Amino acid sequence: MDVVRKCTRCGAENRIPPKHIAHAGKCGKCKTELSPNDAPIDVDESTFDHIVRESPVPVLVDFWAAWCGPCQMAAPEVKHVAHDLAGRAVVLKVNTEESPRLAARYDVRGIPNFAVFRGGKLVQQKAGLVNRTVLRSMVE
């Protein structure tokens, strides 16, 4: 499953394979440079699996739900970390209401819940509201 990155110049949607998700590239239409993804990516189970398995950089996953107050409080922190670590990490968001099997697979019992994957393997997981400094240290 490819991730779509929109060109800021011409608006073209560019399909980015998971193995290149952290890299800069060029727009297929206007050839403008596309910077590495610097925002959290909402994913379903299939896209999650492809990105975690093929990403050349660590993947930080935010398991969340729309009704969760602490999840809403964590969202700006997650967004900030995605921006700060662009090109060095990928940040995914998994809505546990829409992907309950994925949440169950990683034993997510409380949200927000943050997990870090390297080389397709879970290396760290932490439940509860944390700030950007903690999120960054989990990835680095």
CA atoms of 54 and 101, how far apart (whole Å): 21
Active site residues: 68, 71
Q: Where do the domains of the chain lie?
A: 38-139
The pairing of beta strand 90-95 with beta strand 33-34: unpaired
For tokens 């940040």, the residue is 91
Q: Report the DSSP beta bridge partners of residue 92.
A: 41, 61
Four-residue CA torsion sign, 40, 18, 57, 88: negative
Tell which CATH classification among 3.20.20.450, 3.40.50.720, 3.60.70.12, 3.40.30.10 matches the domain 38-139. Answer: 3.40.30.10
Structure tokens at 60: 């930080």
CA atoms of 64 and 98, how far apart (whole Å): 10
CA atoms of 80 and 25, how far apart (whole Å): 22
Output the tens digit of pLDDT for each of the chain's 140 residues: 788 999 999 999 999 999 999 999 999 999 999 999 899 999 999 999 999 999 999 999 999 999 999 999 999 999 999 999 999 999 999 999 999 999 999 999 999 999 999 999 999 999 999 999 999 999 99
